[in-house]
Each structure stands twice: as C-alpha cells, then as structure tokens.
C-alpha cells in the first residue's frame, strides 16, 4: 500500500466531542528516507486501518507499540509517555492519497507538513480547508469552542483570573504548533499556521505570512506575504508592502517574488517578479498597470501592461515624479541582505579572554 503522508498527534475536543485542533508531534511525507517510520504508523494502526485517508484514536497498547517502535527517538518517547494518560486524545492520521482534507485532523496534518518544511506551498491539495476547520478562540489556556467561551471567561473571572483571547480564527499562530529552525519572528501572531519559512527568514513585527505561502530561504519580511505567494531567497519586503494573493480581485495568476528582490515600503505587486527586481517605495504594481519601458538612455521605447513583464528579471519599477507614469528600467544592482543582522542561527561565543 502506497501512503502519501502520516502523523502522530494529540487532538483537542469540545464538550460535545467535536475536534477543535490536532497538535502533530510527528508528521511525515512518505519518502525512501522515512518509509519505515510511516510504515510503523500504518502497522500499529492495525486492523483499524484498511486503507484510504483516516484518523485513528489509539488504545494504550498501541501507544506502547509506538514507544517500542520509536525507542531511539527520545523526544517522541517522552511525548508518548507524557500523553499516555490522555490516550483517548492521541491519534494517528494516515493519508493514503493527496486529496482535499475531509476532517480537522487531515487539515492540521497538511498544515504541519507545510510549516515543518516537509512539503512546499502548492505541493498538496488544500481545497475546501476553510469549510473543514472550525472557527475557534485561541487563548492563554489553549483552543476554546466559541459556544463554550462565555462560560470559560466567567469561570476564569470567578477564580480571580482572566481568560485572554488572542484571536478568533480558523488558523492558530504557526509557532503554537511548529517553530522551524533558523527563523526570527517579531510577533508570532502574524505568522499563520501553514506558513512555510525558509532557513534564515526574519519576520519583523509588522510582517505577515499567510498559510500555504512563505519564503524559500533567508529574507527580511516587514510586509505582507499573502496566501499562495512564495518569496525567493535573499529578498526584502519593506514595511507596509504587500503581495497580491491568488484570486485577490479576481486574479487567477499565482504571484511569486524571485531571489534578491526588493519591494519598497508601502509598495506592492500583483504580478510575479523575476530575480533581482525592485519596486520603489509607495508604488503598487498591478497586472493592468501601464508601464513605460526605458532604454539605457532613459528614452521610452514602448508602453505595455505590467502583466507582460511578469517573471522577467533585473527590472526596476519606479514612478516618474513629474509625469506620474510608471517606468521600468534595467536594474543591475542586486539586493544584498546584511548577513550579520539576519543570521538566525545563534552560536555560543565566549566574551572572556585568557590572561597569559
């Protein structure tokens, strides 16, 4: 039997048994390297699994089998032993095929695969995910059903505390489920679960990254990466800038930003950018924008829609301060990020020197 993906997680339910979220400690896309781990999940699910896409609640004896199967993985064993008393919440989700998610567990497994870098955005089916996920309250005490929220808030007040509601949304912050290596995030609430952040990415406090979107490598994100948009390595999105999401305003083109690009503060793009492109601050470039093409002498050679320049590299887009026209000239200067400022892998350094 060929399996697409599998995960081991803990589910949270409301008082009626409805699943609100699933935290996946382990999530795999089946490859040659991890085939044995995925096969162990299927094997331990036993006769409860006969194929298809399914989530199985584990019995205590199955948890013991998992502890045995993953004995060399200290973190997984600790997770399993700690959750043994809550075995009714522990699940294995198995996806035989990559289809639109049909349950909360399937949706959360796919979001986990994105944020843990096991799969790239647009690399799996997420059709209908909004209909599957419940709208819930994300609080300092975890996820709470909106039907149960007033009672929980009253209970907290009656006991001298406060139930802080950080968000009411279908998606939790990514960092509550996955923190990928080598990233900095100024405000974790602004990176949605299902975002894909490449090694070396910095998301500043005003930056925002939606699900099924993100970066392919190091980058500085002070603007908005909308759903479905991927940003190439070593690119810089300035404060307040934006990338137009797929289907935004009727757009059916997948927007992307190439490597070593700069989108200036309060600027934006509604077309895919190639490598080493720059959009000056305050200029929002849409597919229908009229653009004057200038030669090396600054002479206009043609006038085209911005969509005709989609994906082309080494372009600088600016607005003529006198005529108001959008102009495009060849940009030979690549954007270089400050390597020291954006190095996110901390290393121990001694500040003491030995006295001779």
End-to-end alpha-carbon separation of the chain, Å? 67
Q: How many CB atoms lie within 10 A of CB 270?
A: 22
As a whole number of angstroms, the distance between CA 185 and CA 204 comes to: 6
Strand 19-29 with 278-279, pairing: unpaired
Residue 91's SS3 state is strand
DSSP for 293-306, please give it: EE-TTS-EEEEEEG
Three-class secondary structure of residue 225 per DSSP: strand
CB of 9 closer than 8 Å to CB of 25: yes
**What is the rounded distance in angstroms from the CA atom of residue 7 to the CA atom of residue 168?**
26
Which tokens hold the place of 186?
């100024």
DSSP 308-320: GGTT-SSEEEEE-
222 counts as catalytic: yes
Sequential DSSP letters for 72-85: T-HHHHHHHHHTGG
107 touches 115 (CB < 8 A): no
3-state DSSP call for residue 216? coil
Q: How far apart are alpha carbons 164 and 14 in whole angstroms? A: 18
- Residue in 269, 294, 291 with CA at minimum distance from that of residue 279: 269
Query: Of the residues 21, 222, 260, 280, which is catalytic?
Result: 222
Q: Is 176 helix (H, G, I), strand (E, B) or coil?
A: helix
Sign of CA dihedral 297, 299, 302, 305: positive
Active site residues: 222
């Amino acid at each position: 039997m060929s399996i697409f993906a599998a995960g081991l997680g803990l589910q949270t339910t409301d008082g009626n048994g409805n699943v609100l979220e699933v935290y996946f400690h382990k999530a795999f896309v089946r490859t040659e390297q991890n085939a044995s781990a995925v096969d162990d999940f299927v094997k331990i699910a036993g006769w409860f699994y006969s194929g298809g896409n399914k989530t199985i609640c584990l019995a205590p004896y199955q948890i013991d089998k998992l502890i045995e199967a993953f004995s060399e993985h200290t973190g997984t064993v600790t997770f399993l032993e700690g959750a043994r008393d809550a075995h009714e919440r522990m699940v294995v989700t198995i996806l035989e095929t990559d289809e639109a998610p049909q349950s909360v567990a399937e949706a959360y497994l796919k979001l986990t695969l994105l944020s843990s870098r096991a799969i790239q955005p647009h690399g799996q089916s997420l059709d209908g995910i909004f209909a599957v996920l419940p709208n819930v309250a994300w609080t300092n005490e975890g996820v709470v059903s909106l039907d149960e929220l007033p009672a929980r808030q009253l209970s907290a007040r009656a006991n001298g505390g406060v139930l802080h509601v950080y968000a009411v949304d279908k998606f939790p912050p990514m960092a509550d489920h996955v923190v990928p290596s080598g990233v900095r995030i100024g405000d974790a609430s602004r990176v949605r679960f299902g975002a894909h952040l490449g090694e070396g990415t910095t998301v500043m406090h005003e930056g925002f990254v939606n699900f099924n979107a993100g970066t392919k490598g190091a980058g500085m994100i002070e603007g908005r990466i909308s759903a479905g948009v991927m940003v190439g390595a070593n690119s810089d999105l300035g404060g307040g800038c934006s990338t137009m999401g797929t289907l935004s305003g009727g757009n059916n083109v997948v927007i992307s930003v190439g490597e070593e690009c700069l989108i200036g503060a309060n600027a934006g793009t509604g077309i895919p950018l190639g490598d080493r492109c720059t959009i000056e601050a305050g200029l929002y470039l849409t597919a229908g924008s009229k653009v004057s093409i200038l030669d090396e002498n600054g002479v206009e050679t043609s006038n085209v829609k911005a969509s005709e320049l989609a994906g082309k590299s080494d372009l600088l887009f600016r607005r003529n301060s006198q005529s108001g026209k959008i102009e495009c000239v060849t940009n030979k200067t690549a954007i270089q990020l400050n390597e020291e400022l954006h190095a996110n892998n901390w290393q121990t350094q001694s500040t003491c020197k030995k006295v001779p």
